[in-house]
Structures are given as structure tokens and as C-alpha cells.
């Protein structure tokens, strides 16, 4: 366990807590006002003055820009995300914070690549019949080429703790594995998938790749076909972006993955133990059957061609230098992800997914914290690193990139405080089932504060009790919780490096 040093963080935590008064409980102004009034007797006047700079109107001002239609949902990469980064940086410069990105800038550049399918040169044949890309099948990885027979593997999972083995000693080497997509083995949840991949469990792709399969065909659920056209356009026109340096530093599977249409599924299983209609029904119902080899005469030959494009995105990073000669070389990192998911299927005629809560709320909270610290007449002993991560929605890209290629020594970061989705809470007396998972009045969900450092969790509670005295809800620290939120936001990449975290 990494040791957490307590000195010099109290002011930071006190100011850190204040955004929840402005955002998450803004509807309970009387309750918050009473808490602030009580805090005046326990906190120094200077700290209260600094915290008072974080206000609901200021947060709203920031959010109305960050989550505006002009930012077009802040996908990674996109002009809207770049414009948001420039907006944040313009304020950082105004507040006098120091750049902590690449080459003396506020930006840590991240190079992305994507491969777009070339339908004109892509060729797939099933038993000699040429299939049409976009009509008969879609592909998830390009370029790729293979030719071979088939094995159907049901759900395709191996979970040793549950004595589950989908393959039943069938040899997949040199074969194309067909699995029912979108499901775990019957009766299992994500909480049951524990331990090390490969040793304790294997998903369909992992098993196929490590056992010599030539490719993977993932049968969609029936309701997935409603999104077929959108997926077709995405595969043909946009492809999937990846971080270039991740591809160069990680083992890549290179395993071709194909998503078949209903007609291809019917042709694939014609004359087999189960028909295509039965396979689709089992996939949709989550009742995938036992594995079996398809007729040896059936073969699939495919050669998927693609073109490669590149783009740049960025993390935004600033620092406030600490006051202590020794401790200023250490950092308290405060972060949020400033990306969202861009545009998509129109909802009530609106195709822009603005992302005001996820994570516009965290983005502007970190901006307000940065402003409050920058305008303060006093400095914390340690330096503060403010980081706005890109690409969280695509797989925690920004935080993963920073922790792999840090712009400050990673061993000097003593903790990381992550803010993700603090913009909504229930009103008093709200019994609407749709709001059941929201935090209650004057309440905040706190995740991971004691998982790696009991000292950090105790400090967070002590400062809270002396300031706003929010209700801390630790329900998502439960290892049995199926949401697994600890693994699903940017703090997780810091935790993997041994850095104590709190996820608000």
C-alpha cells in the first residue's frame, strides 16, 4: 500500500468539497446555507473566503459554454472537444496558472489513428458466395484476412470459479469461432468475473486469440439489428479511433471480428444442429446452447481492406505551485473528463448529446477549483495538478495516456481526486423510480477513498465534518456491487499505478 502523507492537504480538501454545495445540492439552498454558516465557526476565515468564490452562477456560466450545442457533444476527437480545450485554457491563462502539458503548453497531445473499411476492395465469401459489406456483414477490426471452417461456442466464456467452459474440449485452432454476443453465461453477472484474465476467466475474444483461432463471428441480438444501418455507416464512414501509442506498447490481438446479418446467420447454420433462427433466438434470450463444430465443408474466406487516417486530441493540464520548498515537488491531482459522446440518434429531434452532467459538471467543477486556488492569497504546501482528460468515453484514454506518459513524475503524485457526474441529485421527497440511483439531498457518492489509503479517507471525512458536513454515501465501495464504478472512470488508471484516489 502506498503511504499517504497528510500534511498540507486540508485546505485543498476543504476547497475540493465546495463544488458540491454549488452543483449537487443547489436545489437545497437553505440546507447548504445552514451548513456554511456552521462551518464559519470551525474553518479559518481565509479558507471560507476562498471557498466562497465557487458559486452556482459561476459554474452555470462555464457549463452553458462547455455543454452548449456549439460544442456538438465533445466527442474524442472532434472540433467541439478542441474548442472546449481552448475555452478551458483561455481561463487558465487568465488566472495565471502554469502550463503542465507538452513543451511548455497546457496541452498534452495524443495522436489517434483509425482504419476505415474500403468496401470496393474488401471481399468476403461464404461457401463460394460473395457477401456484400454493410448488407450481409460488418467488421470490427481492419485490415484482416483469414480462411477456415467454423465452431459454434455458445456464449464463448470460461469462468473457472463457476466451472464454466463453453468449448468442451473442442479445438478452435485454425477455425473461425462463432459466439452469441451480448451475454455472460446464464446466471452470471459482471461481479462474478474475478481474478486474472487467462488464468481465472476468458472472454470469447481472449480465448479465440490465445488458442489459435483465425477469427471471431459475433451473432447480434435481434434488437441490435435496429441499429444496423447506423453501425454500417459508422464502420464505413468513420471507423474506430485508437490511441497510436497504446497500439505500439500493448499486445494487439489482430483477431478479425465479423458481425453477421440475419441472412448470413441463416446461411451459416443451414443444415446444422441448430438453425440460424434458433441461434438468433437463443442469443436474444441469453440462453446460448452448447458448443458444436459446423459441417467441415463450410468455409469462410475474407480479406478486409482499409485506409488509415490520423488525428490529434489532447489532455489539458495546469499546475499551481505549492508554497513549501520541499513539498512543492509533490502534487495533488484534481481531474475530470471533458469529453462526451458527440452526436447520435435524434432524441425528440435533437441529435446532439450535450453531456452537461457527464462530465460537463466535473469539467466546470475543476475549472472553479482552479480559479479559487489561483485567486487565493495563500498557497497549499504541495503543488496542485489540474487535469482535464480526453477520451474517457472511449475507454479512459486520457488518464491512461497521462499515467503511461506523465508530464510530471508519477511517483510525485500523492493522490488523485476525480470528479465525474456531480450535476444531479434528488429533491427532498422524490420517490420517482427513475431517480432512485441519484444521490439524495445534501449527499454525495464517495468511491475508493479508503481502498488504498485509510489516511486519505479519514482526512476526507474530517474536512467534510468541519465544513459542509455532507452525507457521504459509500454504497459503491461494496465489492459485490454490479455497477463496478471503481473501474469505470479516470481515477482507475491512477489507482493502477499505486496512487491513492477518491472518486466523487
- Extract the C-alpha cell encoding 199: 488464468
Q: How much is the pLDDT for 183?
A: 75
- Extract the C-alpha cell encoding 345: 440518434
Q: Are strands 201-202 and 98-99 parallel, antiparallel or unpaired?
A: unpaired
Distance of CA 425 to the CA centre of its chain: 21
| Measured distance CA(415)–CA(173) in Å, rounded | 46
Query: What distances in angstroms separate CA 490 from CA 332, 334, 377, 397, one per listed residue?
Result: 15, 11, 31, 8
Element (H, E) at 151: strand 150-152
Q: How much is the pLDDT for 143?
A: 74
Element (H, E) at 456: helix 454-466
Alpha helices in 10-147 (DSSP H): 10-22, 29-39, 45-51, 56-66, 79-95
- Ordered structural domains, the chain, with CATH: 10-111+312-428+435-503 (3.40.630.10), 119-304 (3.50.30.30)
The CA angle 385-390-392, to the nearest 5 degrees, is 105
**Residue whose C-alpha is closest to residue 5's, from 411, 372, 336, 369:** 411
DSSP tag of 329: G
Q: Please name the residue that has the C-alpha cell 484514454.
A: 397
Q: Please name the residue that has the C-alpha cell 489561483.
A: 374
| 290 close to 154: Cβ distance less than 8 angstroms | yes
Predicted TM-score (pTM) of the model is 0.78
Q: Each residue's pLDDT tens digit in the chain (504 positions)?
A: 333 333 333 334 443 443 333 333 333 344 445 555 555 546 778 888 888 899 999 999 999 999 999 999 999 999 999 999 999 999 999 999 999 999 999 999 999 998 888 888 889 999 999 999 889 998 876 678 889 999 999 999 999 999 999 998 899 999 999 999 877 888 888 778 888 888 899 999 999 999 999 999 999 988 888 777 777 766 665 567 899 999 755 445 568 889 999 999 999 999 999 999 999 999 998 888 889 999 999 999 999 888 889 999 999 999 999 999 999 999 999 999 999 999 988 899 999 999 999 999 999 999 999 999 999 999 999 999 999 999 999 999 999 999 999 999 999 999 999 999 999 999 999 999 999 999 998 999 999 999 998 899 999 999 898 888 899 999 999 988 888 899 999 999 999 999 999 999
Amino acid at each position: 500500500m502506498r503511504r499517504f502523507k497528510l500534511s498540507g492537504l486540508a485546505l485543498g480538501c476543504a476547497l475540493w468539497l465546495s463544488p458540491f454545495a454549488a452543483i449537487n445540492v443547489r436545489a437545497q439552498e437553505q440546507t447548504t446555507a445552514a451548513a456554511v454558516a456552521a462551518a464559519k465557526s470551525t474553518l479559518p476565515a481565509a479558507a471560507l473566503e476562498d471557498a466562497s468564490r465557487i458559486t452556482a452562477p459561476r459554474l452555470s456560466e462555464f457549463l452553458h459554454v462547455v455543454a452548449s450545442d456549439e460544442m456538438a457533444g465533445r466527442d474524442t476527437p472532434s472540433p467541439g472537444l478542441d474548442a472546449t480545450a481552448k475555452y478551458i485554457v483561455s481561463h487558465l491563462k487568465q488566472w495565471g496558472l502554469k502550463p503542465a502539458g507538452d513543451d511548455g503548453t497546457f496541452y498534452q497531445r495524443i495522436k489517434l489513428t483509425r482504419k476505415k473499411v474500403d468496401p470496393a476492395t474488401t471481399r468476403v465469401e461464404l461457401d463460394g458466395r460473395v457477401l456484400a459489406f454493410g448488407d450481409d456483414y460488418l467488421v470490427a477490426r481492419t485490415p484482416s484476412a483469414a480462411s477456415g471452417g467454423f465452431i459454434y461456442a455458445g456464449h464463448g466464456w470460461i469462468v473457472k470459479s463457476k466451472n464454466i467452459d463453453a468449448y468442451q474440449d473442442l479445438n478452435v485452432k485454425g477455425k473461425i469461432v462463432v459466439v452469441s454476443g451480448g451475454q455472460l453465461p446464464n446466471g452470471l453477472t459482471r461481479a462474478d468475473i474475478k481474478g486474472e484474465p487467462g488464468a481465472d476467466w476468458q472472454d470469447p475474444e481472449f480465448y479465440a486469440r490465445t488458442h489459435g483461432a483465425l477469427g471471431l463471428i459475433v451473432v447480434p441480438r435481434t434488437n441490435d439489428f435496429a441499429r444496423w444501418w447506423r453501425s454500417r455507416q459508422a464502420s464505413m464512414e468513420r471507423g474506430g479511433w485508437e490511441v497510436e501509442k497504446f497500439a505500439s506498447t500493448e499486445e494487439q490481438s489482430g483477431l478479425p471480428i465479423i458481425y453477421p446479418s440475419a441472412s448470413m446467420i441463416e446461411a451459416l447454420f443451414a443444415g446444422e444442429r441448430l438453425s440460424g433462427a434458433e441461434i438468433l433466438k437463443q442469443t436474444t434470450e441469453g440462453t446460448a446452447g452448447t458448443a458444436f463444430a459446423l459441417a467441415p465443408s463450410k468455409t469462410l474466406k475474407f480479406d478486409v481492406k482499409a485506409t488509415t487516417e490520423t488525428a490529434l486530441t489532447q489532455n489539458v493540464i495546469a499546475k499551481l505551485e505549492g508554497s513549501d520548498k520541499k513539498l512543492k515537488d509533490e502534487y495533488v491531482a484534481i481531474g475530470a473528463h471533458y469529453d462526451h459522446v458527440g452526436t447520435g440518434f435524434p432524441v425528440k429531434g435533437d441529435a446532439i448529446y450535450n453531456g452537461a452532467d457527464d462530465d460537463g459538471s466535473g469539467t466546470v467543477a475543476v475549472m472553479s477549483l482552479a480559479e479559487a486556488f489561483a485567486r487565493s492569497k495563500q498557497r497549499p504546501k504541495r503543488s496542485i495538478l489540474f487535469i482535464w482528460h480526453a477520451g474517457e468515453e472511449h475507454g479512459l484514454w486520457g488518464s491512461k495516456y497521462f499515467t503511461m506518459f506523465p508530464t510530471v513524475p508519477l511517483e510525485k503524485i500523492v493522490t488523485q481526486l476525480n470528479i465525474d457526474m456531480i450535476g444531479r441529485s434528488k429533491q427532498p421527497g422524490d420517490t420517482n423510480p427513475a431517480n432512485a440511483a441519484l444521490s439524495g439531498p445534501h449527499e454525495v457518492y464517495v468511491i475508493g477513498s479508503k481502498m488504498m489509503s485509510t489516511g486519505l479517507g479519514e482526512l476526507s471525512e474530517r474536512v467534510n465534518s468541519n465544513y459542509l458536513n455532507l452525507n457521504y454515501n459509500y454504497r459503491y465501495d461494496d465489492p459485490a456491487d454490479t455497477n463496478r464504478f471503481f473501474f469505470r472512470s479516470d481515477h482507475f488508471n491512477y489507482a493502477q499505478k499505486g496512487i491513492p484516489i477518491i472518486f466523487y
